[in-house]
Amino acid sequence: MKVKKDIYLVDRLVLLFLFLFILMAILFSFLVALAPDRGSYLFFFAFALILALVLYGAYRWIYLPYRENNKVLRLFADGYIFRGVFDLRVHFNRESFLAFQKFKEILDTKELLEGTKKHAEYLALQNQINPHFLYNTLEGIRSEALIAGVESIANMTEALETFFRYTISDMDKLATVEEEIAHVQTYCQIQRFRFGEKINFQVDWDREQDPGIMQAKIPKLTLQPIVENAVFHGIEPKLGKGLVTLRLERTPRRLLITVSDNGVGMEEEQVNRLNDKLRGASLTYIKKDKKTSGIALLNVNNRIKLLFGDEYGIYLYSKPGAGTDVEITLPLLL
C-alpha cells in the first residue's frame, strides 16, 4: 500500500499544541523571572500546579486514547484484527464514530460471511466433483461389488448420500455438535472404504462433567473440513494406522474442541505461517487461484471470527512425527 506523504490533521494539531506549549513555557519562565521582584510566589506556584494538572490530564485523556486508537488502526491494517476496529474505546469525534458505524454496516459480516459461505459451498462442491474423491469412492463400490457384498454397496451409497445431503443443505443454520459429529462419522465411513482400518475416529468427552455438550450449537461444516485436513495431510502420508480424536470441553462461556491426529505433522515454519493467518479474519485466500495449504482451516476460522468475534477461532499445534492438534474455540450456545 502506498502511504501518502502529507501532514495529517492530527499531526497539524500536534504542531499547534507544540507551539502553544512553547508559548506557555516562555510565559512560565517570564513568571519565574518576575516572581523574586514581586516577592510573591503564590501565583507562580498556582500557575505551575495548573500547568502540571493540564499536562497530566492531556496525557491521560488525550494522548493515551490517541495512542491506543492508533495501535488498533495499525493492527487492523496489519490484519491482526477485523471487528475490533469498530469498537474503539474513545472515538476521534462524533463524525468518525458515525462513519465507522456506517463502514461496519456496509462491510458488515453479512457480506463477508456470504463470501466465506460461498467459498465453503464451493469447497464442498469441489469435493463432490473432485475426480480423485469420486473415482476412489466408485473404486470402493466396484471392489465391494466384485466381492458380491450387496449390503455393503448399499451402506456405502447411503453414506455418500447422507454426506452430500448434509453438505449441500442450508449453510446459514447452526448445527448441534452431535449433528456435526455424525457428519464426520459419515465422512470417515466413506474414507474407510478407501483406506480401510487406517482411518480411525474417536470422540472424547466427559459425560459427567459436561452434560448437554452434544446439544451445543456450532456453525455448520466446522468439524468435517478439519477432520478431512487431518486425514489428507496427516494420516494419508503416514505409514500404519491413523487416529483422529475429537475432544470436547466446555466452560460456562466457551466450547473448546480439539481435533487431534497422529499423522505426519507439519514443519515449524508452516505451523507459524498458518497460526499467523488464523489470528485474524481475512478473505485474501479466496482470491488466490491455486490451492494453498490449510485453506479449509482458514475458511472455518473466518466463519467463526465473522460470526462470533475476533476472540474465537482456531489455533494449531503441530510437529513432524508428532501429529497435529487443531484447537477450536467457540462461544457456548445451548
Partner 1 sequence: MKEEILRLENVIRKINGITYLDNLNFQIFKGEIMGLLPLDNHGKSQLIEVISQNVPLHFGRVYFDDQLVNYYEHSSRTKNRVYLIDKETNLIQDLKVTDNLCVLNPAFQDYVIKEKKLQTITRELFGQFGIEIDADQYVSELSMLEKTIVELLRAVLNGAQLIILNELSNFLSIEELAFFQQLIRYYTKKGIAFLYIANHHEEAFQICHRVALFAKGKIIKVLREKEFSLENLHPYILVFRRHQGFSEPHRQAGVFQCAELWTEHLQGISFSVEKGECVTILDVNNRGIQELAAIVNGYLRPESGRIVVDGKAIPLRKERNLFLDGVAYIPENPVPASLFYDLSYLENLTFMIERKLKRSLIPPRILSGVKEEFRCLVGAEIEAKDLWGLEMKSLYNLVYLRILLYKPKAVFIMQPFSHADMYLRGRIIELIKLLKEKEIAVVILAVSISDTLSITDRLLIMEKGKLAPSSHGFTGLTPYLW
State how far the Cα of 112 lies from the Cα of 115, in Å rounded to an integer: 5
Q: Does 80 bind partner 1 (CB under 8 A)?
A: yes
Which one, of 185, 133, 131, lies nearest residue 158 by Cα? 185
Distances (CA, A) of 163 to 128, 160, 183, 224: 10, 5, 7, 10
How many of the other CB atoms lie within 10 Å of CB of 109?
18
Q: Does 207 bind partner 1 (CB under 8 A)?
A: no
DSSP-derived 3-state class of residue 264? coil
Our CB check for partner 1 shows the closer of 140 and 265 to be 265
Q: Does 205 bind partner 1 (CB under 8 A)?
A: no
Contact range with partner 1 by CB under 8 A, out of 130-138, 181-189, 243-251, 296-304? 243-251
- Answer for which of 28, 63, 205, 317 binds partner 1 (CB under 8 A) is 317
Q: Does 319 bind partner 1 (CB under 8 A)?
A: yes
Q: Does 328 bind partner 1 (CB under 8 A)?
A: no
Shortest distance in whole angstroms from residue 311 CB to partner 1: 6
Residues 276-295 that bind partner 1 (CB under 8 A): 276, 279
The residue with cell 469435493 is: 127
- Answer for which of 14, 31, 48, 75 binds partner 1 (CB under 8 A) is 75
State how far the Cα of 20 lies from the Cα of 105, in Å rounded to an integer: 40
- Answer for which of 238, 283, 327, 331 binds partner 1 (CB under 8 A) is 327
CB 83 within 8 A of CB 108: no
Distances (CA, A) of 180 to 70, 254, 316: 41, 17, 20
- Answer for which of 4, 253, 287, 291 binds partner 1 (CB under 8 A) is 253
Q: Which residues bind partner 1 (CB under 8 A)?
A: 68, 71-72, 75, 80-81, 84, 88-89, 209-210, 249-254, 265, 272, 275-276, 279, 311, 315, 317, 319-322, 325, 327, 329
